Structure 1
């Protein structure tokens, strides 16, 4: 990989989700992920392929081409490349031409699982296991999902999801009466993943920080369960029946592809997931972005914020990211 911002930001030798499976049909799709322009397409057998979106001949974007005879065809001169990246046809040289092995495009190791297309970023042999959560089904009928590009570094977004205690303030209109105090927090380090439980409530001496009391005159107490899988997956239980899976994959040093899948374990679950997901993504996330727009930009470093004990989860993730990044460079 080229020496650039990715050496400081990305964890090498990891599987990264880059696209929704359902959005990859019969045409090439150009995407930007992991600091590269990529092209995703399917072979005649339906297998997902992800390659660098640049023809080895003169650099034209392959995503503007088409799929022909199980290959992706360059829109400029018709060169065809198979799933491995090898050039199989150079029309202007004739069919008898012995195509040099150097006429190839870079192909990323690619897998498809859990409704997502994954690529291996790094020089080591791809790991057998994809990052996922045992408690989270790979798909199912009671879900709704969406994807979008956010104008923030992925490390800032990961940190914001550990920050449960912003809820009573940023989302005050949606959580009236929710206590602002972290009355209990448990953070567990399991190597490749982090488990965290946070309970928000109130001090025993009554209202704090000017928040209005609930209708009963008492502060609401609520527990949140957060699971984070390295490098960039998180799972949040917002209630026993409504859960969120989110993935933050870097586009470049300023933008992040955010994939969100909502699970609703209730009757008419797909409809409930759609309603809840639209509400959470459309309103709650809009409130978050209003604050994120004001925060420092670029890669988050451990010394950037005045962390307290309530930030143990985010600090642990940042430390793990740095260790894994350095180990990948060795």
Structure 2
């Protein structure tokens, strides 16, 4: 339980807010690269409460600038893409990707007004299907060498979805391993081979034991949390009656991402990106350590569940999350279908746009949530005082020293699990055709 002022400090992200100042020190997902396909590569973007426009020029370069023209405030999302810039249809003012006004064609020919006009513009970079932007001041930091960034495009797939709640609620579901035994419980085991959202339905390691059975039969995990250079490592341990230890390793990558195992050969890195204080997008990069990914199939699977172009879930609060009491009695714990994203959506959105944490009561299994809040509060203090270190950014060797992180779901001998899960991860990485080193394992 925290007080209202602390809840405000942790959740608000607009200009001038404390958590917002922390998030602006890091690269933020802006849009999927796929969103710029088609005849008009221009997208409206609201990010950290700022209204922006993202566009791609003919030469493939991207811009991210203030959505409103600095002349009379017209909406540049309707601008004309011309010769390396975007032109306002109101009076023809044209801006490049740096926000510099290039032309004011309605002004007298000798006018020097354009040279004095520069609108807000932010640095951008593309990483495996996602356009990132840096909304802070000064030079942006280097990208960490996360698996989702270092894997080739052929082994990654990016997607996103809208969540109608504050970003912190979405993140806190992602770092809560205990909820999977209930929210994602299936009352029967089935073949997950072609299932969407199968990370809680796949078989564990090299065994024939489905994850559904482990979660269902062993709902009281022991959760250990370790502070790392990148954020938090979260280990959920389930003792399978002394026969083996189920080890699930997930991560909180500061400030608002998670890296989790999806299957024996795939991980997901997912960012919870504030649109404003009451809405966010989840962005995800799926990274394969095995075969190349079938991007067409993966996109078709997911687009079937979302309303384009805003990536609004077809099943959500507007239709009761598809709740079926008969299904809840016979097949799934929630009665909300097989898509675990729908389960998470309900858990995230049902407390309201911004959860009233003054009424919550955390238990022992919420240790990662408490640890993250402390981490964010320390970062807020560091940014406010201008002294101290921030995760990833102030790592010895810089952000480039951050690799991995490890995310795995495996069974290990009960008395040797502490080393066995590392061995399982090493085996998976060595089998990856794109993996070039073992730094992230050797450093453990």
TM range (shorter): 0.7 to 0.9
Q: Secondary structure at the match of 1:239?
A: coil
Cα distance per residue 1:31-85 (max 9 Å; x no partner) = 1111011111123432211111010011011111121121110021111011221
Which residue matches 1:187?
A: 225
Could you tell me which residue of structure 1 aligns to residue 339 of structure 2? Answer: 283
1:163 aligns with 2:176: yes
Q: In the TM superposition, what is the alpha-carbon distance from 1:275 to its structure 2 partner?
A: 9.1
Change (3 A) 1:124 1:325: farther
Alignment counterpart, residue 82 of structure 2, candidates 49, 54, 68? 68
What is the distance in 2 between the residues matched to 1:275 and 1:32?
Answer: 23
TM-score w.r.t. the length of structure 2 is 0.62
Matches within 5 A, 1:122-141: 122-127=136-141, 129-131=142-144, 133-134=146-147, 137-141=150-154
2:55 is paired with a residue whose SS is strand
Structure 1: state its 5+ residue gaps: 205-217
Contact 2:28 2:132 in 1 (8 A): yes
**Aligned residue number for residue 189 of structure 2:** none
Higher strand share: 1
CA contact (8 A) 1:115 1:139 kept: no
- Cα deviations across residues 242-268 of structure 1 (Å, max 9, x unaligned)? 322211110001100111233444557
Partner residue, 1:121: 135
Alpha carbons of structure 1 residues 256 and 187: separation in structure 2 relative to 1, 3 Å: same
Instruction: Summarize the alignment of residues 146-295 of structure 1 with structure 2, pairs less than 5 Å apart.
Output: 146-173=159-186, 175-176=212-213, 178=215, 179-200=217-238, 222-267=246-291, 269-270=293-294, 274=298, 278=302, 283-295=339-351
Structure 2, unmatched stretches of 5+, are 1-12, 187-200, 202-211, 306-312, 314-337, 386-444
Instruction: Provide the rounded CA distance (Å) in 2 between the counterparts of 1:298 and 1:307.
Output: 17
Counterpart of 1:207 in structure 2 is none
Task: Tell me the equivalent position of 1:211.
Answer: none
For 1:51 and 1:271, the matched residues in 2 are separated by 30
Alpha carbons of structure 1 residues 277 and 136: separation in structure 2 relative to 1, 3 Å: farther
1:103-150 Cα shifts (integer Å, max 9, x gaps) = 3210012222233222112234322x1245247644532444321221
Deviations 1:157-212 (A, max 9, x none): 000001111112111126245234444333221133222221245678xxxxxxxx
Deviations 1:256-312 (A, max 9, x none): 0111233444557427982997499971111222233322431676x6632233222
CA contact (8 A) 1:144 1:277 kept: no
What's the TM-score once normalised by structure 1's chain length? 0.82
Match of 1:14 among 14, 19, 26: 26
SS in structure 1 opposite 2:339? Answer: helix
Given the alignment of the two structures, is residue 29 of structure 1 paired with residue 85 of structure 2, yes or no?
no
Q: Residues 14 and 48 of structure 2 are in contact (CA less than 8 Å); yes or no, is this contact kept in structure 1?
A: no
**Partner in structure 2 of residue 213 of structure 1:** none
Q: Which residue of 2 aligns with 1:305?
A: 360
- Structure 2 CA distance, aligned partners of 1:190 and 1:265? 23
Partner Cα separation in structure 2 for residue 251 and residue 165 of structure 1: 28
Aligned partners of 1:20 and 1:115 also within 8 Å = yes
Moved more, 35-44 or 256-265: 256-265
Q: Give secondary structure in 1 for the equivalent of 2:226.
A: strand
> As a proportion of its length, which structure holds more helix?
2
Q: What corresponds to 2:331 in structure 1?
A: none
